[in-house]
Amino acid sequence: MESMALLEIDGDELRNELAAIGRFILVGILNTAIGYAIILTGLAAGLGDYSANLAGFVLGFPIAYTLQRRWTFRTSSKATILEAALYALCFLAAYGINLAVIAIGRRLGYEENAIVQLAAICFYSGSFYVLTRLIVFRGKAPASQSRRN
């Protein structure tokens, strides 16, 4: 029955987590718009799928880290090298999932396709939330620390 205790969550915890997910989505929409614009610009400039995709994610990375840390998870402690390294590792894992989606799309004959790029971003975003929440910001109380939006 100990495993059942892990699934128990009270109403406040659930509301806090749902609020964090909502903030993550809003930050993700902003960051996705920026990254997607960079990707499309790269494709138009002839960079190709992988280079354009990498440019979008690399340029969006510092924006995402800052917004996710301060607003989504409302972390007030000083950033550490370990936290940034864990965030980067989560990014790399999620980015690997993103690249797998692109590779599958290309294998199916959809090279340099904007829809495949968008699907890849969606898979990246979902996996990135789960990873950062469980690994990087696991000890942080996402919504209970502050009510500011």
What are 42-88's pLDDT values in tens digits? Answer: 999 999 999 999 999 888 888 888 899 999 999 888 989 999 899 99
Listed as own residue / partner, the contacts of 50-59 with beta carbons closer than 8 Å and 24 or more positions apart are: 50/99, 50/102, 53/98, 53/99, 53/102, 53/117, 53/120, 57/91, 57/95, 57/98, 57/124, 59/34, 59/35
Cα 110 to Cα 102: distance, rounded to the nearest angstrom: 9
What are 11-31's pLDDT values in tens digits? Answer: 888 888 889 989 999 998 888
The three-point CA angle 38-44-45 to 5° equals 85
The structural domains of the chain, with segments of one domain joined by +, span 10-136
DSSP 16-38: HHHHHHHHHHHHHHHHHHHHHHH
| Inter-residue contact 73 to 21 (CB < 8 Å) | no
| Inter-residue contact 72 to 142 (CB < 8 Å) | yes
Task: Assess whether pLDDT exceeds 90 at residue 104.
Answer: yes
